[in-house]
Amino acid sequence: MRTVHHFIDGKAVAGTSGRFGDVFDPNTGAVQARVNLASVDEMNAAIASAAIAQKDWAAVNPQRRARVLFEFKRLVERDMDVLAALLSAEHGKVLADSRGDVQRGLEVIEFACGIPHLLKGDHTLGAGPGIDVFSMRVPLGVVAGITPFNFPAMIPMWMFGPAIACGNAFILKPSERDPSVPVKFAELMMEAGLPAGVLQVAHGDKDAVDAILDHPEIKAVSFVGSSDIAHYVYSRGTANAKRVQAMGGAKNHAIVLPDADMDQTVADLVGAAFGSAGERCMALPVVVPVGEGTAETLRSRLLPEIAKLRIGVSTDAQAHYGPVVSAAHKARIENYIQMGVDEGAELVVDGRGFTLQGHEGGFFVGPTFFDHVQPTARSYQEEIFGPVLQMVRADSFEAALALPSRHQYGNGVAIFTRNGPAARAFAANVEVGMVGINVPIPVPVAYHTFGGWKRSAFGNSNIHGPEGVRFYTKIKTVTQRWPSLNAGDGVIDSSFVIPTMK
């Protein structure tokens, strides 16, 4: 059976802990590989190696660092089909979605290729008599990323691209459920010219995470995962004086006003709710039609489109989505469906019990649709992270605005309308970090920044874009004065008060 090793000091390294995790094929339910799980000692050794490599890497000028990323981008594009197939085989998402996963990460690599410009500081000539002041952004040293199973290509690139461009060394702890693509990225970075040790990939579980959070050499940690774990990572990391950005769960809402383009809205809702089997933090699992007429129209239009959805293996080019990532996650989703029934919501479409002929052991969940869901329901308040769409009816714009604003999560939200003033008011007042106006999945482009509010994010820094560069660097400000070329000019006197610019 294939074993996924760590990638340390520029090469694959077999683990010494004696512990392994199973990597399943979600299409069949069979174990297809095992992955090394690092011990604390192994993590500490990887971090120590990265610290040595980082010093030389930081001395490389930003333009040459950018050239490595340019070449990495070319190599990833060259190997796109191989990477997508590997990703789909371990995650279960269909190939087209896997290509999108890789491509969206590459867009942040493209942004990071502009690092020579992004690292430029400020300069003031003549801030005082013969005094100039300038600032520079310098790398932190060794930083780390802990990434989730649902985007094993995109989110690692969101993190290590800017971090490495800024001159840091990076420790990547990917999800042990689908670990192979991150290792492949490390190999491609080496092929692109990155020095050994600058990007380390160490697999593991809580032991590895805690080693990252506790090690004094790690200066910053970026995390994406569930909110409970995000809070743990933020709390433990900041307690150890680290910078931490920790992105958590979501329960994104789609507000549908009566004047919405219903054809486009229905198409967007079906794709955003059920794409990638709902395993996206920016999925749209809740739809809020405003007014009974809007709700009845939307329901009547959604049902035939849901019925058309094709669930298949990840290599099925005709499938809209594939299996979920694990048997445990399938059981969790089905438990939430039963919870919704028990809470009194109307189960209009039940995806439980779905099987695919020839793949009866696969982790498949059919599309599920609830209507008349109450905001007090636990199944509404919590993240399901599966192909489940819940309809919560609102009788007014104000009531619809209040639902995402009052929810414990504040990652993304979308409004569908032709009414410009209503959309503007919604965007200005909704208590959510990322807003789409007639855009179902409002993930910002790479040169902006990604981050939610409330229990969707811990810390005060977002991922990628200018925020990412600021997160992975610190500012040094220099105030300089040069002695006069003519010796003896002026009077040299001691000052015992704080200097000011008179």
Residue 491 pLDDT greater than 60, yes or no: no
pLDDT digits (tens, 9 = 90+) for 183-208: 999 999 999 999 999 999 999 999 99
Sequence-separated contacts (24+) of 397-404 with Cβ below 8 Å: 397/257, 397/290, 397/422, 397/426, 399/290, 400/255, 400/288, 400/290, 401/255, 401/426, 401/429, 401/430, 403/253, 403/286, 403/288, 403/375, 404/252, 404/253, 404/255, 404/430, 404/431, 404/432
The tokens 């610290």 sit on which residue? Answer: 51
pLDDT at residue 1 in the model:
87
Same domain, 301 and 390: yes
User: Residue 63 CA to chain centroid, in angstroms?
Assistant: 27
The tokens describing 489, both together, are 């000019």
- Residue 446 falls within a domain, yes or no? no
pLDDT at residue 502 in the model:
61
The C-alpha atoms of residue 426 and residue 428 are separated, in whole angstroms, by 5
Range scoring the smallest mean pLDDT among 348-357, 368-377, 464-473, 493-502: 493-502
- The catalytic residue positions are 281
Same domain, 317 and 379: yes
The tokens 């279960």 sit on which residue? Answer: 92
Same domain, 264 and 197: no
- Residue 363 falls within a domain, yes or no? yes
Same domain, 264 and 210: no
Same domain, 196 and 226: yes
Same domain, 233 and 149: yes
- Residue 489 falls within a domain, yes or no? no
What confidence category does residue 384 fall into, taking pLDDT thresholds of 50, 70 and 90?
very high
Same domain, 463 and 383: no
In 114-271, at which residue ranges do the beta strands (DSSP E only) sit?
123-128, 131-139, 142-146, 169-173, 199-201, 218-224, 243-247, 253-256
Domain count of the fold of the chain: 2
Residue 374 sits in a domain of what CATH number?
Answer: 3.40.309.10
Helix ranges (DSSP H) in 12-165: 40-59, 62-78, 80-91, 95-112, 115-118, 154-165
The tokens describing 369, both together, are 């649709």
The C-alpha atoms of residue 76 and residue 68 are separated, in whole angstroms, by 12
pLDDT digits (tens, 9 = 90+) for 202-229: 999 999 999 999 999 999 999 999 999 9
Domain limit, last residue, from 437, 466, 488: 437
Segments forming the whole domain that contains residue 203: 2-248+456-478
pLDDT at residue 67 in the model:
98
Average pLDDT, the chain: 96
pLDDT at residue 93 in the model:
97
Q: Dihedrals φ, ψ of 290, to 5°?
A: -100, 115
Same domain, 28 and 92: yes
Same domain, 150 and 30: yes
pLDDT at residue 495 in the model:
67
- Residue 20 falls within a domain, yes or no? yes
Inter-residue contact 150 to 279 (CB < 8 Å): yes
Q: What is the pTM of this model?
A: 0.94
The C-alpha atoms of residue 281 and residue 423 are separated, in whole angstroms, by 23
What would you measure as the largest C-alpha separation in the chain, in angstroms? 93
What confidence category does residue 342 fall into, taking pLDDT thresholds of 50, 70 and 90?
very high
- Residue 498 falls within a domain, yes or no? no
Give every CB contact of residue 130 below 8 A, 6+ residues apart in sequence: 481, 482, 484
Q: What is the mean pLDDT of residues 158-175?
A: 98
- Residue 49 falls within a domain, yes or no? yes
Residue 43 sits in a domain of what CATH number?
Answer: 3.40.605.10
Same domain, 37 and 165: yes
- What are the Cα distances from residue 344, in Å, to 42, 203, 335, 400? 50, 42, 15, 21
Q: Which residue has the higher pLDDT, 500 or 335?
A: 335
- Residue 114 falls within a domain, yes or no? yes
pLDDT at residue 489 in the model:
59
pLDDT at residue 493 in the model:
65
Same domain, 289 and 218: no
Strands 388-391 and 286-289: parallel
Same domain, 265 and 243: no
pLDDT digits (tens, 9 = 90+) for 79-117: 999 999 999 999 999 999 999 999 999 999 999 999 999
- Residue 54 falls within a domain, yes or no? yes
The C-alpha atoms of residue 130 and residue 115 are separated, in whole angstroms, by 31
Q: What is the 3-state secondary structure (H, E, C) of 224-250?
A: ECCHHHHHHHHHHHHHCCCEEEEECCC
